[in-house]
Amino acid sequence: MGAVIAGFVTIVSIIVLGVLLAHFGILDASAQIMLTRLTFYVAGPALMITVLGRADISRLLSANLLASIGGVALSAAIYICLARFRWRRSTGDTVIGPFASCYVNAGNLGLPIAAYVLHDVSAVVPMLITQLVLLQPLGLAVLDVVSRSGTPDRDKRYRWLARIWQPLGNPLLIGSLIGVLLSVLHIQLPAPRHDPLALVAGMAVPAMLLAYGVSLRTGPLPGAGEPPTRIAAITVL
């Protein structure tokens, strides 16, 4: 229990540091964007490669993956039923709602919590894969169809192929797939290749937490523009 508390204290401390840096003007919204991009395109993928490269793949394709898919499916189904049959929301709003209800922050918060509380970053990978491979392409495809309804559809085949291949361009997914491949093939990177990756990966979690802290200080207040009951329902889900 003490280790769990210490892990959350570590995470909250870095987030608070980000809030303070933003409050005193040392970091601003542009700095938050820079930290987010640096983590998303560089440090995060390096972290996935170094962690998953030495992980036991059987643990990734286990009950954790089923729980991730089940949690996403249940939360999305409940919101869709509320949106369509109780609140009478449009199709676009009904698609966005499940994103808010079941698309968790597996990056900026999931990876740090897995690292400092569970001491196993690979624990969050099944949820990342579920969101990047299943939830994101499906939701964006539906939104694309809704937004283009009533317009000429000359490039339908090309757009659907683009939607299918879009997740494969996600840096976190690419890093995860490379790490899984290294683990499956039992390949160990030599020190000249592994050590730079590990060094860059080391800044992923602090950068994520600092960016999150900055966003809490510089971003808009949550919950604006929607009825409190709907925000409460999304939050509970």
- Chain CA centroid to CA 20, Å: 24
Rounded to 5°, angle at Cα 10 from 9 and 13? 80
Q: Could you report the per-residue pLDDT of 78-105, keeping only the tens digit for each?
A: 999 998 888 888 877 888 888 888 888 8
Q: Is the pLDDT of residue 151 over 60?
A: no
Nearest to 44 by CA among 130, 170, 164: 170
Higher pLDDT: 141 or 72? It is 72
190 by Cβ neighbours in 10 Å (0-12 / 13-18 / 19+) ranks as exposed
119: DSSP letter: S
pLDDT on residue 213: 93
- Interatomic CA distance for residues 73 and 94, integer angstroms: 14
User: Can you tell me the distance from the alpha carbon of 198 to that of 121, in angstroms, rounded to the nearest whole number?
Assistant: 14
Query: Residue 106 and residue 101: Cα distance in Å, rounded?
Result: 13
Say if residues 46 and 200 touch (Cβ distance below 8 Å).
yes
For residue 169, the model assigns a pLDDT of 74
Task: Tell me if residue 150 falls in helix, strand or coil.
Answer: coil
* 214 three-class SS: helix
Which residue reads 């049959």 in tokens?
85
Please write the tens of the pLDDT for every residue from 213-232.
999 998 776 666 678 888 88
201 has a pLDDT exceeding 80: yes
Measured in whole angstroms, the distance separating CA 98 from the mean position of its chain's CA atoms is 15
Q: Is the pLDDT of residue 171 over 70?
A: yes
Q: Tokens standing for 138?
A: 């499906």
User: Which residues have a Cβ under 8 Å from the Cβ of 37 and sit 6 or more positions away?
Assistant: none
Amino acid in position 206: P
- What is the per-residue pLDDT across 40-65, written as a single tens digit (0 to 9) for each? 899 989 988 998 888 777 767 778 88
Q: Is the pTM value of this prediction over 0.85?
A: no
Please report where in the chains the tokens 């709602």 appear, as a residue. Answer: 97
Residue type, 77: A
